Structure 1
Amino acid sequence: MVGTEHKLGSPLVLFELLAIRPCLVMLISLTLCHLILFSWGTLVTSHAPCPKPQDISPCTCSYSEESQEVNVDCSGAITSQSILDAFSNAYWPSIQLTKFRLSENDKVLTLPDGVFGNITFQRIHAYQTKMRTINATTFKSSRSRLQSLNIWNSRLEDFPFAILPELTQLKILDLHGNALETVPALESESLQELYLYDNQIVTFQGKLTIPNLKSLNIGGNPISKLPSDFFEDLENLEVFWCPSCKLGPILTSRTFQFHSPVLREVGLFFNTISRLEPRAITGLTMNTSVELWSNQIDSLEEKSFRPMLKELSKGNGYISLFGNPTRCDCSVAWLISSPDLLKSVKDAYCLDGTAFTDFDVTLFKRCRLCEHECVDPKQASLCSPGTTTPSRPHDCRPEESCCKPKIPKENPPKCGSKRNVHSSGAANTSMDQTPFNFDEWPWQVAIYSVNEQSIICGGALIREKWVLTSAGCLNKFQDPRILFVRLEKLHSNESRDDQSMEPMKVSKIILHDDFNAENYDSNVALLKLRKRAELSQRVQLVCLPSEPWVNLKEGTRGWVVNWRLNGTTEEMVVSKCHQDTAHPITRATSDKVFCSTNNSKNSDSGLLFFHFDK
């Protein structure tokens, strides 16, 4: 009431205060209620899913309201038992937690059986620890929730890989930087990323049956060989890395047989690889990048690199060769002279620093570049459809074309006609060392190098245009034009032979795809002659086994012709292969190698073992 003075004791003032008091009481009550609720809400946000801190010490538990993650950190634990006690003795409001962490800890040496009780995690991360073992049941409680398992830069010597099929949600397994030496065959339907790099792994005992694996890194391990079926079930693999392994000096045939249509990257750098055998890497896609930089590759053999580049040139794929001591000689002429293939080679330089893309191709005018055969116009009808390419000035003759001739169907000619007739002047000695005779060994040929003008190895005529010999003899030769063969040859000494014998030029060298230069597995090669040999009494064909899998029994007797012993023959006996660690051939024999014994201390390259069926 305006202008009216109210005193404290007046009825009006008392009435007004009483009228106002309920509002004040209600306001104060509401405020207290909000404060209490706010305080309790803060308590729930910070600690509701976690036990009391004192109940789980030395571990800690934290909760983020924003991400709704509940994380446990036991990095302060001094024993495995203290971690087990934290999970078994405390009351956990929730058993579905997010992440377990153990880092920079040198006290805990293992995660024992049942360490987490019934608590489950989505991620378990342990790094920079001294853990040596993991129990197979450690992750049992989390088998249906665990998505990421990382134990790295520790001292893990063993891991229970057998549990992987039970971890049905596991997508990432990172065990890098440990001390693992052997990895068994692995199985997992869920795993997408596997990191095993920087361990001490020397052996993978079987293939990886992990159909959804996208990324695999096994680099930094002393691995020299992988199982032949290693990649067979990795049908969704995108990235494979094996840098700084022990794959060199020779990457043997079928080392990497990929089976993934989405393969993007293959990392093989820092492996001291000097040579790739044909089909050493197969299954590339047109968009795969092959990182071969910082190796020791000095020659890009066409048989090894052309099939890869042919596929890569269809898309954006490439082979990186930076830091390799590559010789720019005839061995790379096929590549530098092929722009379509060269575009799929990245960072390739000659020894003098010249980039492949800047190299003067006219310097290769004396190099042979036709990957098949040079055919004159009169024989053009013999070319297989789709294989003919125009001649180039520095390749076939101008009037010729390069093509793959058709293989005519014909009945095999008569073979194996060995006669016991001695030519004049040949002494008939014991079978131990019998002087070579045209009529006795009419299929034997001598193989020469144009540069050396001497016999480099022996061979046998198996068809009018084909000579069988050893891959070990021809391994260093790439250009067939530097080789020739002689038929009807009798003596190692050229002056004692019939000078009318013309040398037969070679048009093609074919090494067995599985030839291994270290242990001489599949030590077989073919030479194709430019002209057909004219069969006569002195020139015959040797017979090949009629069955594809013929194994000679121990004790089988046969003969070889040894040019180093002046063309003499030596009787040899098939024997067991003794493991001799000092000799590379007998150190690692297989079902593709048999051994024989004789008395000679001088053996020729390309010796062929002749056995007569009765």
Structure 2
Amino acid sequence: MHLKDFLLFYIQALLLVCSFQQASGQTGACSLHNGLPISAICSGNLEVYQIEHFFRELVQDGNVRFNELWISDNYLIQRLPVGFLGELQIIRMSIVSCPNLVQVDDFLGASSDTLLSLKLYGTGLSEVPQLTAPNLYELHVYQSEKRVVIRRAAFERSRAIVKLDFKKAIVEPFAFFDLKTLGSLYIRDISPKPLVAGSFNFDSPGLSYIELSSEEPWEGHIEPGTFGGLVSSTWFRLGAAADVSPAVLFPVLNSSASFEIGVPVKCDCQVAWIRLSSFLPRTTIRCATETSYVALQDVDEAEFKDCGSFCPV
């Protein structure tokens, strides 16, 4: 074979191998980063047993406590079994771009007492997992496709949480009621279905910020009794509200919380009870007009003279 023909054959074979590797997915690997912070990283397509083997090797080498653990870009992993982390003591953990991960058992092992932060981004979970993590400070669950259901049972053994941050979520009644130290709650793409009674009832004296917003069309339909337990230090931002009647919002404003509606509303008699009450200074509500919007505070009281009396219920 002439050199020119050999080179041509070699290049074609190399291209064939490369295209096969791209089609079959990149092989994953785990590594240890000894910088600051000390991190363990498992990236790419790895089976659960391969990751567990890496964890055992770390322990055998005397590496037990880590500031961070990353598991990312894995299309093979479907379940995190009980005791998955073994003897590792992790402070912050991120699971990113694992779209086929649909089941998370109580996998923390020795990290149960050390874990402060858990981030689950881009998984296939259908509900927030129930974990034994008594010192967990913050939990982030960002879904890209499937909505995750938030149930009260998820926090039975993680009641010290201060910050919750969700994307694409459905909230069941009293999901957050047992979190006595909860400070902030973000739901950035809430379900377009109506919010049901009890969904956002709290019992946390330090509750400072709540944000419920949506990326999909959502008119903000809310059942009476949805909100409760807000305190004077709470800033509550609601992305949209189809009903601003006392039956829905009186518990919010009567708590002395600050209240904001992101999308301008129709300022007819439904908002008269707010405009003509002492609640007004603690609200940020914009009234939609034909061309723009105006703050509810700037609408003349005379606009509501024919609305009659409104008694909160």
- Please say if 1:269 is aligned against 2:213: yes
The whole-number CA distance in structure 1 between the counterparts of 2:304 and 2:87 is 68
Q: Which has the higher contact order (CA 8 A, sep 6+)?
A: 2
Q: Which residue type is aligned with residue 355 of structure 1?
A: A
The whole-number CA distance in structure 1 between the counterparts of 2:301 and 2:92 is 53
- 8 Å CA contact 1:214–1:236 kept in 2: the answer is yes
Deviation at 1:188, TM superposition (A): 2.4
Alpha-carbon spacing, 1:101–1:306, altered in 2? closer, same or farther (3 Å):
same
Deviation at 1:178, TM superposition (A): 1.2
Alignment of 1:123-142 (within 5 A): 123-133=68-78, 134-142=80-88
TM (normalized to structure 2)?
Answer: 0.76
- 8 Å CA contact 1:256–1:280 kept in 2: the answer is yes
The whole-number CA distance in structure 2 between the counterparts of 1:128 and 1:330 is 52
Among 153, 161, 176, the residue aligned to 1:213: 161
- 8 Å CA contact 1:252–1:276 kept in 2: the answer is yes
Among 279, 289, 297, the residue aligned to 1:357: 297
Alpha-carbon spacing, 1:131–1:195, altered in 2? closer, same or farther (3 Å):
farther
Q: Which residue type is aligned with residue 190 of structure 1?
A: N
Alpha-carbon spacing, 1:365–1:121, altered in 2? closer, same or farther (3 Å):
same
Among 315, 329, 341, the residue aligned to 2:279: 341
Alpha-carbon spacing, 1:360–1:140, altered in 2? closer, same or farther (3 Å):
same
Among 319, 327, 330, the residue aligned to 2:259: 319
Partner of 2:189 in structure 1? 244
The whole-number CA distance in structure 2 between the counterparts of 1:298 and 1:230 is 23
Deviation at 1:310, TM superposition (A): 2.0
* Secondary structure class of the residue paired with 1:188: coil
* Secondary structure class of the residue paired with 1:196: strand
Taking only the aligned residue pairs, the percentage that are identical comes to 20
- Structure 1 residue runs of 5 or longer lacking an equivalent are 1-57, 70-97, 373-509, 511-614
Deviations 1:117-172 (A, max 9, x none): 12424221123333423343331121xx2111111122242343323475211111
Deviation at 1:371, TM superposition (A): 1.7
Aligned residues: 269
- Please say if 1:173 is aligned against 2:118: yes
The whole-number CA distance in structure 1 between the counterparts of 2:180 and 2:98 is 31
Alpha-carbon spacing, 1:165–1:253, altered in 2? closer, same or farther (3 Å):
farther
Partner of 2:8 in structure 1? none
The whole-number CA distance in structure 1 between the counterparts of 2:228 and 2:152 is 19
Deviation at 1:205, TM superposition (A): 5.2
Among 226, 232, 249, the residue aligned to 2:177: 232
Q: Which residue type is aligned with residue 268 of structure 2?
A: D
Alpha-carbon spacing, 1:186–1:247, altered in 2? closer, same or farther (3 Å):
farther
Partner of 1:332 in structure 2? 271
Deviation at 1:307, TM superposition (A): 2.3
Moved over 6 A (4+): none
Deviations 1:37-79 (A, max 9, x none): xxxxxxxxxxxxxxxxxxxxx7665545xx5x6xxxxxxxxxx
Partner of 2:225 in structure 1? 279
Deviation at 1:360, TM superposition (A): 1.2
Compare CA radii of gyration and give the structure with the larger one.
1
* Secondary structure class of the residue paired with 2:73: strand
Deviation at 1:286, TM superposition (A): 0.9
Structure showing the higher strand proportion among its residues: 2
Alpha-carbon spacing, 1:154–1:355, altered in 2? closer, same or farther (3 Å):
same
Deviations 1:231-259 (A, max 9, x none): 232111111122212153x3222121111
The whole-number CA distance in structure 1 between the counterparts of 2:191 and 2:283 is 24
- 8 Å CA contact 2:81–2:107 kept in 1: the answer is no
Alpha-carbon spacing, 1:245–1:299, altered in 2? closer, same or farther (3 Å):
closer
- Structure 2 residue runs of 5 or longer lacking an equivalent are 1-28
Deviation at 1:301, TM superposition (A): 0.2
Alpha-carbon spacing, 1:245–1:183, altered in 2? closer, same or farther (3 Å):
same
TM (normalized to structure 1)?
Answer: 0.41
Among 254, 278, 289, the residue aligned to 2:198: 254
